Amino acid sequence: MKEQKTDFDAIVVGSGPGGATVAKDLALSGKKVLILEWGDNDPKKGSFLKTIPRAFVPGKSVVMTQQLLPVVRAITTGGSTMLFCATAFDPPIDMLKRYGVDISVEAEEMKNDLPIAPLPDELMNTGPQAFLKSARDLGYDAHKLNKFIDSSKCRKECQLCMYGCPFGAKWDARRFVELAMENGAELIARARVQKVIIENGKAVGVEYKHNMGVHRAYAPKIIIAAGGIGSPLILRQSGIKEAGYNFFFDPLIYVYGKIKGLGNGKAVPMSAGIHFAEDGIVLTDFNLPHMLKVAFDLEVLKVRQAFSYADTLPIMIKVRDELGGSVSNNGWVNKRLTREDNQKLDKGAEHARRILLNAGATDIYRSYKVAAHPGGTVKIGDLVDTNLKTGFDNLYVCDCSVMPQEWGLPPTTSIIALGKRLAKHLLAADSVSEKQDRIAAAI
């Protein structure tokens, strides 16, 4: 065991949007931050081959439920934002307020800091345009969606978003990690945290595996941001046994149709959508990268369709699932879709079918299910308080796991705003204790 007695002010575990935001804001305020990240920090190349070890390794980045539904995340610096489609839905401000957490100021700050806007028409290929037009013709409230994308750097006929945009157009949490490092933070990649070291009810450090050895690092503040599956595992190992139960993961399917002569090509996925808020259903266009579409098609034995791309109009249906299930101690996910969850997927698929038929599609079929937003495993009001503090002093959680309930929309804006709010809270608490120390010294 290698002990690392350090002068870090904080250790952040995980570098997705939750961890990267806290690390960046603390570092910008002069705090010494250590970031421990399980995945690599190799350069972004926008390559499918490079994405495989980050996002498609069974038991690590892809875990199956007992219904063989894959839950996908990315294990790399920047977390799942290296894979995400960069759609920026507004955070559920009112829902969080009901739990005593107000992120309205931080959500506004985020909008000023990041390139959040819809894509211009010229960056939407014929598929997304056809989806939008057909849905509007039918009277759906379909509109362009906000994206974390700087459209001045985005390229037409490109689909590298999900492989890690190499052109600097798509925002991902690595940007915040880099900013943190430019301001003195240290990143140790390929460091998998096992547990938090607790002494007399206080978190004092973490134990992690790195380079075949077990190491310990210490700091007065520990922030666990290992994501909806990773954080509850670390907390359980640290004595918070109730973590990792009763969660959501927003299951989704794709419905495809063939439109002869559509000429759809590569495009940013999820550029337009329809939100059925009451039903908990979202429909969007979804130009999957070709290799991923092949994989989804082969899964449902659509061999001929797997090689048809330009004539295909794909629509994604994502639903708000009911809370349930448990994360097992080895990181697998036990969760069954309920009858209501499946009915929502069917209802969404029926809307998609109408839109496809209206656009002139034939040969309509659906993919198998997948999920990509695990959260609610360490809920606010249950295992963390409104400042995201656990029952142990100095131990905080900041990622999708703290979401107090299911709401069925992509969560990254909310996680960034929560990260900003936590950093402010930690900085304010520090300045109070520094002031108290100065008063005590003066007396």
Ligand X SMILES: Cc1cc2nc3c(=O)[nH]c(=O)nc-3n(C[C@H](O)[C@H](O)[C@H](O)COP(=O)(O)OP(=O)(O)OC[C@H]3O[C@@H](n4cnc5c(N)ncnc54)[C@H](O)[C@@H]3O)c2cc1C
Q: End-to-end alpha-carbon separation of the chain, Å?
A: 42
125 is a site residue for ligand X (CB under 6 A): no
13 is a site residue for ligand X (CB under 6 A): yes
Q: What is the distance, to the nearest Å, from the Cα of residue 218 to the centroid of all Cα atoms in its chain?
A: 27
* Helices (H) then strands (E): counts for the chain: 11, 23
What is the rounded distance in angstroms from the CA atom of residue 275 to the CA atom of residue 396? 33
Q: What is the distance, to the nearest Å, from the Cα of residue 321 to the centroid of all Cα atoms in its chain?
A: 16
What is the rounded distance in angstroms from the CA atom of residue 230 to the CA atom of residue 27? 24
Complex with ligand X: residue 16 or 408, whichever CB lies closer = 16
How many residues are recorded in the chain? 443
Complex with ligand X: residue 311 or 399, whichever CB lies closer = 399
Taking the complex as a whole, the smallest distance from the CB of residue 304 to ligand X amounts, in Å, to 26
Output DSSP code: residue 244.
Answer: S
Residues 204-233 close enough to bind ligand X by CB under 6 A: 225-228, 230
Taking the complex as a whole, the smallest distance from the CB of residue 410 to ligand X amounts, in Å, to 3
E-state strands within 1-109:
2-4, 10-13, 33-36, 62-64, 70-72
Tell me whether strands 147-148 and 221-224 are parallel, antiparallel or unpaired: unpaired
- The values of phi and psi at residue 129, to 5°, are -65, -40
Nearest to 14 by CA among 234, 332, 239: 234
The residue within the footprint of ligand X, chosen from 33, 36, 177, 282 (CB under 6 A), is 36
The residue within the footprint of ligand X, chosen from 11, 116, 165, 193 (CB under 6 A), is 193
Specify the DSSP element, H or E, that contains 107: helix 104-113
The residue within the footprint of ligand X, chosen from 37, 106, 321, 406 (CB under 6 A), is 37
- The values of phi and psi at residue 286, to 5°, are -160, 85
The residue within the footprint of ligand X, chosen from 174, 266, 373, 420 (CB under 6 A), is 373
What is the rounded distance in angstroms from the CA atom of residue 92 to the CA atom of residue 422? 17
The residue within the footprint of ligand X, chosen from 24, 34, 69, 84 (CB under 6 A), is 84
Site stretch for ligand X (CB under 6 A), options 69-77, 303-311, 321-329, 422-430: 69-77
80 is a site residue for ligand X (CB under 6 A): yes
79 is a site residue for ligand X (CB under 6 A): yes
C-alpha separations of 48 from 70, 127, 160 in Å: 19, 22, 8
If you search the block for the tokens 């995340």, which residue do you land on? 73
The residue within the footprint of ligand X, chosen from 50, 73, 293, 389 (CB under 6 A), is 73
Judged by CB under 6 A, the number of residues near ligand X is: 39
317 is a site residue for ligand X (CB under 6 A): no
Nearest to 388 by CA among 432, 422, 412: 422
Complex with ligand X: residue 262 or 273, whichever CB lies closer = 273
Site mask, ligand X, residues 132-151, x = CB under 6 A? --------------------
Residue nearest to ligand X (CB): 16
Taking the complex as a whole, the smallest distance from the CB of residue 204 to ligand X amounts, in Å, to 18
The residue within the footprint of ligand X, chosen from 51, 81, 183, 394 (CB under 6 A), is 81
410 is a site residue for ligand X (CB under 6 A): yes
The residue within the footprint of ligand X, chosen from 223, 411, 422, 423 (CB under 6 A), is 411
| Angular region, 134: left φ>0, alpha ψ -120 to 50, beta rest | alpha
Complex with ligand X: residue 146 or 264, whichever CB lies closer = 146
Complex with ligand X: residue 235 or 361, whichever CB lies closer = 235
Site stretch for ligand X (CB under 6 A), options 79-87, 178-186, 251-259, 430-438: 79-87
256 is a site residue for ligand X (CB under 6 A): no
**Residues within the interface to ligand X (CB under 6 A):** 13-19, 36-39, 72-73, 75, 79-81, 83-87, 192-193, 225-228, 230, 234, 270, 372-373, 399-400, 410-412, 415
